[in-house]
Amino acid sequence: MSETMSSVPVKVQAADLTPFEESTALLDRPDELRARAERDGYLFFRGLLDPEPLLQLRSTVLDVLSEHGLRAPDADPLDGKLDLARLNQLPADQMRVDIGVTAELYAAMQRLPELHRLPHQPALLDLYRKLFGTDDVFVHPRHIMRAMTAHPSTGATPPHQDFPLVQGSTETWTCWFPVGDCGLASGPLVILRGSHRQGRLPVGTGDSDGYWTNWGAQLCAHETNWVGGDFAVGDVVTFPSLTVHQSLPAVVRDEVRISMDVRYQRGDDVIEARSLTNHAERSWDEIYQGWSSENADLMYYWNPDRLSYIPWDESLLEPGARRIC
């Protein structure tokens, strides 16, 4: 007898989680690192990143929020406390609900050079060289920064795979890290351990709030091995594009959760062309306007003629046949 497919999205709570297994000790043992990645579909590292540039970026992003009138007047320099009354006045049709703020504010965040430098930290490049077994690591320029708020139009991201949204190679890895400390109450990312071994899952629909409701992965009732935990600034979790993941619902409602999603792949793997565009849907010339010469190394650093492309497949986002569990 087959099991019943669960509704999409699945409401995972902090109490449902098994703690992340830390992989920092395996950075000097690449074969074991790759074996754990194949087994679990994720790798978690404590303190992989230098906190200083993360906190500098956090301060700059919070300044942008202040310029748009969204921070609480009494907030400390690195405090993410919001002015909920001002936030709730923002029209829903101006929001990037996948990001947590308006499209205009998100474009301002994307213009920050610090945002685009973080993904090139030596610690991250070293990690993916070891994981991929090659020095030819390509950093996608389409970096995502989320400033998730409690605006009525936003919600927790349901369980999904990145592959239908990113496409290209299934061996493209996402790196997620908070820009500042992020406890479970702030709604961090959690992972369905081993879910990558199921291959690409059919897309389902659900009745939950959240921008990605119609892109959620169909899950079965027995697929409950969720892992997660508190993140300190500098902690990182990374996973391939077939691993199912989601965000927890935020219990803390008056603070912004700032985080980044960055993607890496082998330089000779296929890529879909949208991965070379800016996530705020602005031209790169607009993003780079006003940058100083010291950031020239971040501008158009990729060679499009060197990459191998695969076309976008819209059918990957269409609801699939009901999964038999």
* 122-166 per-position pLDDT tens digit: 999 999 999 999 999 999 999 999 999 999 999 888 899 999 999
Out of 116-120, 162-166, 319-323, pick the least confident. 319-323
Q: Quote the pLDDT of residue 206.
A: 56
User: What is the spatial distance between Cα 5 and Cα 113, in angstroms, rounded to a whole number?
Assistant: 44
Paired with 71 in beta bridges are: 82
User: What is the spatial distance between Cα 69 and Cα 201, in angstroms, rounded to a whole number?
Assistant: 41
Per-residue model confidence as pLDDT tens digits over 261-284? 999 999 999 999 999 999 999 999
- Mean pLDDT of all residues in 176-180: 99
On the question of pLDDT at 99 being above 80, the answer is yes
- Mean pLDDT of all residues in 11-17: 85
Instruction: Report the largest interatomic distance among the alpha carbons of the chain, rounded to a whole angstrom.
Output: 64
Give how far Cα 282 sits from Cα of 132, 166, 288, 289, Å.
31, 18, 10, 11
Nearest Cα to Cα of residue 188 among 201, 170, 203, 176: 176
Instruction: Tell me how crowded residue 215 is: count the other CB atoms within 10 A of its CB.
Output: 23
Q: Quote the pLDDT of residue 205.
A: 65
Give the chain's domains with CATH numbers.
14-282 (2.60.120.620)
Out of 112-121, 219-228, 290-299, pick the least confident. 219-228
Cis peptide before 9 (omega within 30 of 0): yes
On the question of pLDDT at 211 being above 60, the answer is no
Q: Quote the pLDDT of residue 216.
A: 87
Q: Quote the pLDDT of residue 4.
A: 47
Out of 10-24, 52-66, 115-129, 230-244, pick the least confident. 10-24
For the chain, what is the mean pLDDT? 93
Q: Quote the pLDDT of residue 320.
A: 76
Q: Quote the pLDDT of residue 322.
A: 81
Model confidence band, residue 10 (pLDDT cutoffs 50, 70, 90): low
pTM of the model: 0.94
Q: Quote the pLDDT of residue 319.
A: 85
The percentage of the chain sitting over the pLDDT mark of 70, rounded to a whole number, equals 94
Q: Quote the pLDDT of residue 13.
A: 85
Give how far Cα 139 sits from Cα of 112, 125, 225, 258, 303, Å.
17, 9, 30, 21, 12
Out of 143-157, 174-188, 213-227, 236-250, pick the least confident. 213-227
On the question of pLDDT at 194 being above 70, the answer is yes
Q: Quote the pLDDT of residue 15.
A: 84
On the question of pLDDT at 207 being above 60, the answer is no
Dihedrals φ, ψ of 167, to 5°?
60, -150
Distance linking the first and last C-alpha atoms of the chain: 9
DSSP 193: T
Nearest Cα to Cα of residue 155 among 9, 303, 44: 9
Q: Quote the pLDDT of residue 325.
A: 83
Reported as type and span, the H/E element at residue 217 is: strand 216-217
The percentage of the chain sitting over the pLDDT mark of 90, rounded to a whole number, equals 83
